Structure 1
Amino acid sequence: MANSEHLILNRYKPLSRAGSGGFGTVQVAWDTRIQRKVAIKCIELSEIDAARAALPGAAAPQVYEPDEVPAEESLVRFLSHVPGLDEARTAAMLTDANIVAVYDFEIQGTTAYLIMEYVEGLTLTQLISAYDDQLTLDIVAAVFAAISHALEVAHSNQVLHLDIKPDNVLINEKGQVKVTDFGLATLADATGYGAAGGGTIGYMPLEQMRQENLDERCDEWALASVVYWMLVGKNPFFAPDLKRAEAAIEDAELVLPSLCWDDLSFEVDEILFSALDPDREQRFDSVDEFAKALMPHLGRVKQGTKDLARLVEDAKNPQTEIEEEPQEYRSHIPLRYRVTDGQIAAAGRVCGAVGSAIVASAGASLIPFTAGLTNPLFWVCIVAMLAVGALKSHLGFLLASVFLGAGIIAQGAPALGIVCIVLSGLWWYFVGRLENSAANVVFAAPMAGAVGLAPLESLISGFVLRPVRALVTTAYAVFIMASLVSLTPDGANPLFGWNAYMLVVQGQIAPDIQQAFGSYLASPGFWCGCAGWIGVSGLVSLIRLRPTRLFAYLSVLVGGVVLCLIAIAAAFVGTPTTTTLGPSASSPYLDVFQWLSLVASIVIMIFACVLTLEPHFGEAAAGYDEGYWSDEEEFEDD
């Protein structure tokens, strides 16, 4: 996972290692979709374990000792002995402010991933280790209240934690206490709690060590052990193995907690010792009863929360020594990992809305009763196209292109107008209506062409669409560009842009649109450029058939070079234009504006490669079809 480009489950970018233990490693990662940090527990499985991982186990429970897990048996086989193996299903049931949320649980290959809420702060172990001299009864009250509440929520859902200990208690920067790692929890059946194992010596009662049927009093004992440790400063139940751990509990000589605190009632001794009784029948019936008995004798929860927040904040001081696992690496989160699905969807809607409005503005400028920026009907048309295009790009495209064809007919060019409407309808039916991304690709031509960046169209088309659709879409885009260029008397080169300002703002229209369009059809340079545009889109799409980031860059660079060569060839052959956006018929060379257009188009597409999180075809990269996100292709990241 040291590779900064690697994504866990095609979604989570590892940032650092948070720790390791008997249950695998914990990675801090960045959720590239929801844009938040998460903690990921990574558990390595054998192939047999991976196949069994989703099945409930039926074998006898086992218990692990500190720093010891059987070498012959992997963790998941160990965990599969607990009914209801997968941690996600167990913990995802529990929604509470004092419980670390579990977002997901997946198995990929031979690794199981538990995706959890990331808590920025300290474990209870770290906090007490660094600030034992600042521990107050208020802090004890805040910690106890939070853990007991979390357990009450879990127990009400018939879930046991079975591993309550300071390492599984987290405190965030607001002083909020959260219980984590319900990985050994057991979902009981309808008749009661089942047998379960797991736990850590020092915080594990006798019945858990002896693999007896467990109930919530098991967690009660562990919680009492944590509280005793906080009040007295040591845990008398630690032992190197289970046999001596049992003896430590049965023969324990406990210090009275009330002797360690001037303002702690002696009643606390009796309450804690009841909860710590080796015989569970002598304990409180529930954690709730235990909490109600102990809380009145502790401090103020609200003040304790404030004190915890202060200590966690102080721990940020680099001079404060906090025991923690060394981090394997930290890395900057690249911009592409901050681009969310929602932002992509929003960009698609904006593209659809603006593209529809631009094409419709050309059509509205050609129809006498809607022409002119001061005409209210013009703005009614534009607003309507914005709304439709934002809702569905392909519908916005269809209406806008029909509107454009109607405008061309209104200007005395019925043949071109009818061809525009017919071709638009055919393209929409066979390509456009099937995906919003294709419509947005077509919109790239009039949008980018309005600022002299029409070469961008062929690169985008090949980058986003598959080869056949890329070829057809680019050919249709060339027709749209030639039609738009024919609308103004000083028409631009359709390979580079169209004069939107002259048409929409100044209201200047070519005296014979159909003749202007015919002049392009008679130009060898135009056909050379058309073939180049279409060929480049197909070439880029073919290179993108290998969905890696390297080939994404390669497709843009190769396509850009070929596009430049085609533009040079088209200029040499000659095109019938006189605008500064295109060479004159007598000039066999590209001018500075055209070179800037080509270079800018290539640079923009390289930037798109940088932003592309998953270099697959992503036919919704320019759209927002809901079904796309559930049908993503796996890719190989370089």
Structure 2
Amino acid sequence: MANEQLILNRYRPIAQAGSGGFGTVQVAWDTRIQRRVAIKCIQLDESQAFRALQVEVQAIYGNPYGSDGSYRDSDPHERSDPRAVPAVSLENLPGLDEARTAAMLSDPNIVGVYDFEVRNATAYLIMEYVDGMTLTNLLRQHGDELSLDAIAAIFSSIAHALEVAHDNQVLHLDIKPDNVLINHQGQVKVTDFGLATLSDATGFGTAGGGTIGYMPLEQMRQEALDARCDEWALASLTYEMLTGENPFLAPDLSKAEAAIEDAELLLPSLCYDGLDAEADDVLFYALDPDREERYDNVEDFSEEMSRFFGNSARGHKELAMLVGQAVEEPEDEEEVVERISLFDRIGTGRMQSVLVRIWAALGVGLLSFVSLSNISAAGGWASPVFWGLSALFVLAGVLKPHLGALLSLLSLSVALLFQEAFVVGILMIVLACAWWFFVGRLSDEGPNAALAPVLFGSFGFNPISPLVAGFFLSVREAIATAAFAFALSIVLAGFGSNSLAGWNALAFWDFGSLDVQHNMLVLLQQPLTWCVLAGWMGAAAILALLCRRQTRLSAGIGAALACTLMIAALCLGAWFASGMVSWMPDLQLLIPTIGAGVVAVVACAFGVPIRPDEWGEWEE
């Protein structure tokens, strides 16, 4: 029974470390050598699995074909033997090339590969276990805390790994933060040689894939490659470490090519205090779209770039402290802890989950209460049906915020239909379902941002809604959520307040005697309404874009710019409303807008949440 729980009758699974299109990565215990290993489990298709089975049969019974390909007919009974199969090999089997390539590259900065085996329809790549985190996670959690020493440690380690690979005639072809691991001792290791290309007498071939944002034009265009391909990827990764963003990310290959050719790059020396301005030229030299204009190899690039970074030995200690294994004295540990933002301390893990669900419960509870109060079939406050449905919606908000948000929005739509606001009710159903499908169901923060007009608008603080969306969501999700939140604000304003500042829940929770559609139509006929909509969407986009850098300074600037844009929208609306005479907006809207900006800037000072990934990978 024990063997049935083992992988390959040897490795006892401990935990799943990751998953992707290739399969999964399991952390396991090697019962034979008594050590931890990482096992990449790659699912094979039917033809690959059959080929692997043929190889296994040959290994047991031998090859019935001669070296010249002719059949051995010394025994006439051999022809009918079902085991008499042609000679086959495991060439190009997923994982095998990676195993063979990595086996050639024995170096402390390269994740070691121990073995490769195929069992049934699964290929198993047994690798060195690295107890730590990826560079992706490090940049997300501590990107604004990395010193030039830490960057020196990361850069020099990756560059050394690439130099070793290139010396062995191997190109990596997929250098990116996900493929850089940092253990608890601060040691940096490069992994995943799955796309690696070996050199032969004719030179290197073409790549079979890559990751947008970290592959140069020649790799995307399937041209013959050389070491300058990995050089460009390392330069892109280095630029991201210094500036906090990757300007070459794009949704597809054509746009990725345009992003590289037309990129408007920031000067890293302006983004990172203490970095010499000469480093900009070195980095841009390695990032040149034309590989003939780059350094001849990674070694030359590393030699030039390293001059502007700090001490790599100190950097490895700093990385160890950030990853979780302190190597300094206790007082130094406390100093590092103080550098971690308050938002990072309370905004992750269980505490973040609790806060998100409390927020969702409040928003869903208030909206469902108002909605059910205006649905006669719910029976009113004295009915157990009313309170049962309210409790059900709140419970959904606690367990699944996106589901609770959808249910409460649909209940609002039903309430509008009961009050004969048929056009608005049907429109809300369409908008709510579309927003939920494309944005809301993808995260817990999206629903909370969409319901911000319900909570904050209930006391006249509606302008915070687009800033909430921009603070927590990606650019595209923030724009869509801000637009939906604005539509919800218009509906709520139609309950009686007729104000974009909020809907006053205490005074206007009962809209049964009002013509909601008429009130909304009056608002929609005002130029101010459309100016505010444009301001909300633009503000959400600006804040989300600048929050992507994951630094408090950038996010604070984004919040200030977003607030300025919303104020400008109010001024423009006032100008249209006054017959192009006065730019002075209504104080009822101006004051909460300024207040929302102040709150957003203060929130950014505590830290920035991890941004959702906006672009994926491309693989052939």
Q: TM-score range by the shorter chain?
A: 0.3 to 0.5
Superposition TM-score, scaled by structure 1 size: 0.44
Superposition TM-score, scaled by structure 2 size: 0.46
Question: Which of structures 1 and 2 has the bigger CA Rg?
Answer: 1
